[in-house]
Each structure stands twice: as structure tokens, then as C-alpha cells.
């Protein structure tokens, strides 16, 4: 038993321990444990946030991929449409041009025909007139003396076989 | 950290080995005038508490730190420095203070007129500190109390510093806090949480204080020179107070299940006369075991080391010193382990008892 005076140690140990407990609790354990807890929460939060960010990134990546796919498909569709449109336009244009051309040709032909007809008619008229004039002149000339008139009458009479 | 401890240990050991050489050569030995070495005296002088802090001996004169003697006498509070006894432990030097006379015999302070050496020697070792009819109440700052205050200041300083560094550094801990945080977390995650459960936070300050206070006191006791070497945790009164504190905390934390378990245990009513006393005794045996375990472990370690050093003087030959040194080195390293282990065990059992008291249901 290594005791000098039990009351001394009981008294001082109690006082010192309680004081130490109070002091350390206020100045050491609370701040340290608080800091540790705060840091642990912040680490956990950061890890959670990182996990979330990763997931979001994945989602975003998937979204991007989808968007890209969509864009690609859309482009493809647009290209196809454009091509189709182009082909159609070309065909349409060709058709239109052909129709127009045919129409123009037909018109031209009609115009030519009518011009031709008109020309022929005029020619006929001219020829008739000319023939008449010639005939007139010939007749005039033929009938300038009575002999000839007589001869003609005879001739005609000769031709004009009474039938 | 381990390297530093070993280094301190070895250094301490060296000084330790030198000290008894000086000390025993000139120790005024009250019992033996023949100058023969008494290992019991050597061991007791190191393990026992005292009213002065022996630092060294210089050419036959002990150099000590005079600690204040605080007495609650029949005339009221009396304070005087222990140096007034002039290192006397034989009850011959009479000190007058506050109108009374005191003598010091084997570190016990008596009223000079009532001191009876025959009676003291006739009293058993266990009974000697309790001769209250012959002595005033002694509230002196003894060597043990001095060591305790020293350790407390050290703890407040170290942990106050560590806590301050947390305010400045919000990131990973470094420096002192980097060293201490794993230990704090060890106490939290390996001692408090598994044994107490969800309510552990309330008991963290107590457990941490117990752990570091006991550990540092254990370590201080292993360093054999001033201002260390105080054998605090090897003092049964110290361990008694610590155990009582744990006991009180346990009792006041006890919920209805705890009390139900003690007062109306789940056994047939006929067994109550046996079971209830057993449970109540069990309440007290737990802190009693705490008290004895720490005291016995630390005291035993000190006695073994001192005995091994004493071998040199018992055989009166330096030839034995290599054996002593080897064994003392081994024991000192072992004691470093025991210092941490006993602090851990004490804290663990404290947490376990508190955990049993706050446990919600079986």
C-alpha cells in the first residue's frame, strides 16, 4: 500500500480529473470531434456529390450520344429529303420544260400551219387575180379585132360541141 | 512515433540506471545504519508517494523540489513547504506552524505530541495511512498530485494546441493533430462506438480524458527523472478515484432496463434472495476490478524494473549489470506497451460498463 494520505489523493485526483475533463471537453474534445465530424460529413458529401456528378456525366454522355444520334438521323433524313426534293425538282422541271416545249412546238406548228394556209390562200388569190388580169389582157388582146373575135368564137364554138 | 518512444525509453533507462547509483550511495536510511543496501527501501522510495520531489543527490545531500504541505488541522488550514522537515522522515524534526507542531515519519505527517512510533510500527501497512486520531487531514500536493497536475497541464497544452490547429486547417490533419487524431478516432471507433452504441457521443469526452490521462500518467511513470517519474497510475487511490468516477457515470447513465436487470432479474422469484445480492455485488466488482487491474499492472512493472536494477547492488558487482540492463531494457519496452494497453483496457471496460447501463434492450 503506497499511500501517504488517502484523503489528499482522493481530493486532488477528483478535482484534477474533473477540471481536466471540463477543460479538455471545452477546449479539445468538442472542437476536435466537431472538426473530425464536419470533415467526415464533408468527405462523405463530396464522395456522394462525385458519385452523383459521375452519374450525371454518364446521363449527360448518354443524352449527348442520343442527341448526336438524333442529329445524325435528322441530318440523314434531311439529306435524303433534300436529295428527293432535288430529284423531284429536276424531274418536275424536266417535265414542265418538256410540256412547255411541246406546247411551244405545237403552237409553233399551228402558227406555221396557219401561216402556211394564209400564204397559200393569198397565193391562190394572187394567182387568181393574176390569172384574171392575164386573162383579161389576153382577152382584150384577142378581142381587139373582129377577126380574131370571130375566130375565137369559132374555136370556142368548135370546142363547145353541142352535147 | 514508436521510434521516438523507444528513444525516450532508452534515454530514460540510461538516466534511470544512473540514478540509483547515486541515490543508494547516499540515501539516509532510517532503518539501517550499517549502510547495507536494502532493495525494499529503494523500490519503496520510487513507488511510494512522498511530500517532496526527489530530483537527485549531490555529494550526499538530496536535491528535492519542496512541495507544499497543506493540512486541515484542529486549528484550521495550515500550509507550509515540505522543506521545513529538512528531508527528515524519522519523526525527529518538529515543524511549528499555525500554533501546532508536526513531525513526518515515513511520509506520514503527525501531530508531534501524539506521534507514537511504537503504535505506528505495530499498525499493519494497510492501516497506517488511516491513523486519523494522531494526525491532521493531509491535503498536501504530494509527488503524485504534482505529477497529476503536470500531466494535466501537458494534456491541456497538447490537445489545446491540436484543437487550435483544427480551426486553422480545415483539410487533412497534420502535425500534432495528425498524430493524435488516429488515437482519438481509435477511442471513438474501437472503444466507444462498439460498446456504447448510438449514444456514444455523450461519453466521448469522458472516455478520451480517461484514456489519455491514464496513458500519459503511465508513460510519465516510466521516465525516471524530474519532473517525471511520479507513479500516479500505480497508486491505488488514484485508480480508486478513476474507478469510482466510472462507477458514478455508469449508475447515473443506467436506464430502466439496467435497473430492472439488477432489481428484478429474469429468474424465478424464489431465486431473488440470491440473484439480487449477486447483481448488486456485480455493480461494485466491475469498478473494483478496474481499480485493481490498473494499479497492479503498473506497480508490478515498476517493481520488476527496480528489482532488476537492484540486482546490481544486491550482488555488489558491476558484472551483473549487462544482465540487468538487458532485462530492464526488455521490461521498459514491455512497460511502454503495458502503459498503452492498460489505458486502453481501462477505457474499454469503462465504455463496456457504460454501454451495459445504457443498452436499450436485450
The pLDDT tens digits of the residues spanning B156-184 come to: 999 988 888 888 877 777 778 888 889 99
pLDDT in tens, B42-65: 787 777 888 888 888 888 788 888
The answer to whether A2 contacts B166, with C-beta atoms less than 8 Å apart, is: no
Most B CBs within 10 A among A5, A21, A25, hence the mutation to make, goes to A5
C-alpha to C-alpha distance for B53 and B65, rounded to whole angstroms: 5
**Option in B70, B140, B241 nearest A13 (CB):** B241
C-alpha to C-alpha distance for B209 and A22, rounded to whole angstroms: 9
Asked whether the CA dihedral A41, A43, A45, A47 is positive or negative, the reply is negative
Answer whether residue B30 shows pLDDT above 90. no
Of B117, B121, B70, B116, nearest to B97 by C-alpha is B70
Determine the pLDDT at residue A2.
59
C-alpha to C-alpha distance for A82 and A59, rounded to whole angstroms: 33
- Which residues 1-20 of A have a C-beta within 8 angstroms of B? 1-14, 16-17, 19-20
Burial class (CB in 10 A: 0-12, 13-18, 19+), B59: exposed
C-alpha to C-alpha distance for A9 and A6, rounded to whole angstroms: 5
pLDDT in tens, A43-93: 899 999 999 999 999 998 898 899 999 999 999 999 999 999 999 989 988
Mean pLDDT across chain A: 86
Determine the pLDDT at residue B293.
93
Contact B174, B167 (CB under 8 A): no
**Option in B50, B155, B163 nearest A32 (CB):** B163
User: Please, which pLDDT band fits residue B214 given cuts at 50, 70 and 90?
Assistant: very high
> What is the distance of C-alpha B15 from the center of its chain?
21
Mean pLDDT across chain B: 82
pLDDT in tens, B266-299: 888 888 888 888 889 988 999 999 999 999 999 9
Helix (H) or strand (E) holding B32: none
Distance from CA of B39 to the nearest CA of A (A): 16
Chain B residues with CB under 8 Å of A39 CB are 170
C-alpha to C-alpha distance for B347 and B345, rounded to whole angstroms: 5
**Option in A14, A29, A39 nearest B205 (CB):** A29
Determine the pLDDT at residue A81.
92
DSSP sequence for B107-131: TEEEETTT--HHHHHHS-TTTGGG-
Chain A residues with CB under 8 Å of B47 CB are 2
Most A CBs within 10 A among B45, B53, B124, B145, hence the mutation to make, goes to B145
Answer whether residue B15 shows pLDDT above 50. no
Q: What percent of chain B has pLDDT over 70?
A: 90
Determine the pLDDT at residue A82.
92
Chain B residues with CB under 8 Å of A21 CB are 205-206, 209
Residues near B313 by beta carbon (within 8 Å), at least 6 away in sequence: B20, B24, B37, B39, B42
**Option in A2, A32, A33 nearest B47 (CB):** A2
Question: What is the rounded average pLDDT of the residues B32-36?
Answer: 54
The answer to whether B129 contacts A25, with C-beta atoms less than 8 Å apart, is: no
Chain A residues with CB under 8 Å of B163 CB are 27-28, 31-32, 35
Nearest chain A residue to B48 by CA: give it: A2
DSSP sequence for A82-115: HHHHHHHHHHHHHHHHHHHHHHHHHHHHHHHHHH
pLDDT in tens, B71-93: 888 888 888 888 888 888 888 88
C-alpha to C-alpha distance for B350 and B210, rounded to whole angstroms: 9
* Highest-scoring range by mean pLDDT, A130-144, B16-30, B325-339: B325-339
Distance from CA of A63 to the nearest CA of B (A): 36
The answer to whether B108 contacts A32, with C-beta atoms less than 8 Å apart, is: no
The answer to whether A5 contacts B109, with C-beta atoms less than 8 Å apart, is: yes
Determine the pLDDT at residue B362.
56
Chain B residues with CB under 8 Å of A8 CB are 70, 138-140, 142, 145
ipTM greater than cut 0.85: no
The three three-digit cell numbers of residue B100, written as one number: 501546532
Determine the pLDDT at residue A155.
81
Determine the pLDDT at residue A18.
93
pLDDT in tens, B128-155: 878 888 888 888 888 888 989 999 999 9
Q: Is A30 on the interface with B (CB under 8 A)?
A: yes
The three three-digit cell numbers of residue B206, written as one number: 469522458
Q: What percent of chain B has pLDDT over 90?
A: 27
Amino acid at each position: 500500500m503506497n499511500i501517504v494520505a488517502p484523503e489528499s489523493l482522493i481530493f486532488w485526483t477528483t478535482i484534477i480529473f474533473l477540471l481536466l475533463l471540463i477543460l479538455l471537453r471545452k477546449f479539445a474534445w468538442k472542437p476536435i470531434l466537431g472538426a473530425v465530424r464536419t470533415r467526415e460529413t464533408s468527405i462523405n458529401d463530396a464522395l456522394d456529390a462525385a458519385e452523383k456528378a459521375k452519374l450525371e456525366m454518364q446521363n449527360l454522355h448518354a443524352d449527348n450520344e442520343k442527341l448526336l444520334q438524333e442529329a445524325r438521323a435528322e441530318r440523314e433524313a434531311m439529306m435524303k429529303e433534300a436529295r428527293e426534293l432535288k430529284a423531284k425538282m429536276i424531274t418536275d422541271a424536266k417535265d414542265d420544260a418538256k410540256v412547255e416545249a411541246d406546247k411551244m412546238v405545237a403552237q409553233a406548228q399551228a402558227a406555221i400551219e396557219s401561216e402556211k394556209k394564209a400564204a397559200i390562200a393569198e397565193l391562190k388569190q394572187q394567182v387568181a387575180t393574176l390569172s384574171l388580169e392575164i386573162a383579161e389582157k389576153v382577152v382584150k388582146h384577142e378581142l381587139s379585132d373582129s377577126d380574131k373575135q370571130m375566130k375565137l368564137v369559132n374555136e370556142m364554138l368548135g370546142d363547145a360541141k353541142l352535147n | 512515433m514508436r521510434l521516438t518512444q523507444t528513444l525516450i525509453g532508452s534515454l530514460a533507462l540510461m538516466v534511470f540506471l544512473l540514478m540509483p547509483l547515486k541515490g543508494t550511495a547516499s540515501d539516509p536510511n532510517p532503518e539501517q545504519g550499517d549502510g547495507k543496501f536494502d532493495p525494499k527501501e529503494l523500490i519503496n522510495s520510487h513507488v511510494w508517494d512522498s511530500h517532496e520531489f526527489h530530483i537527485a543527490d549531490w555529494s550526499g545531500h538530496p536535491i528535492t523540489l519542496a512541495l507544499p504541505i497543506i493540512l486541515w488541522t484542529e486549528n484550521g488550514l495550515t500550509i507550509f513547504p515540505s522543506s521545513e522537515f529538512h528531508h527528515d522522515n524519522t519523526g525527529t524534526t518538529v515543524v511549528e506552524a499555525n500554533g501546532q507542531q508536526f513531525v513526518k515519519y515515513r511520509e506520514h505527517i503527525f501531530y508531534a505530541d501524539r506521534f507514537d512510533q511504537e503504535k505506528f510500527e505495530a499498525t499493519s501497512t494497510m492501516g497506517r495511512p488511516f491513523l486519523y486520531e494522531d494526525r491532521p487531514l493531509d491535503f498536501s500536493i504530494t509527488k503524485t498530485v504534482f505529477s497529476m497536475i503536470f500531466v494535466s497541464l501537458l494534456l491541456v497544452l497538447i490537445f489545446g494546441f491540436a484543437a487550435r490547429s483544427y480551426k486553422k486547417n480545415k483539410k487533412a490533419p497534420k502535425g500534432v493533430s495528425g498524430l493524435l487524431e488516429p488515437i482519438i478516432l481509435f477511442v471513438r471507433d474501437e472503444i466507444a462506438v462498439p460498446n456504447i452504441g448510438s449514444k456514444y457521443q455523450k461519453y466521448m469526452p469522458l472516455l478520451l480524458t480517461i484514456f489519455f490521462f491514464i496513458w500519459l500518467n503511465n508513460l510519465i511513470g516510466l521516465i525516471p527523472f524530474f519532473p517525471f517519474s511520479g507513479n500516479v497510475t500505480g497508486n491505488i487511490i488514484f485508480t480508486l478515484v478513476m474507478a469510482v468516477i466510472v462507477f458514478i457515470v455508469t449508475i447515473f447513465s443506467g436506464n430502466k432496463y439496467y435497473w430492472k436487470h439488477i432489481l428484478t432479474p429474469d429468474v424465478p422469484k424464489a431465486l431473488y434472495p440470491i440473484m439480487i445480492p449477486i447483481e448488486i455485488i456485480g455493480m461494485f466488482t466491475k469498478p473494483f476490478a478496474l481499480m485493481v487491474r490498473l494499479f497492479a499492472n503498473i506497480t508490478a512493472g515498476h517493481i520488476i524494473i527496480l528489482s532488476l536494477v537492484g540486482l546490481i547492488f544486491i550482488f555488489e558487482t558491476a558484472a551483473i549489470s549487462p544482465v540487468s540492463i538487458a532485462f530492464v531494457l526488455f521490461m521498459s519496452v514491455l512497460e511502454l506497451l503495458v502503459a498503452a494497453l492498460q489505458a486502453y483496457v481501462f477505457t474499454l471496460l469503462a465504455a463496456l460498463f457504460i454501454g451495459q447501463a445504457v443498452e436499450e434492450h436485450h
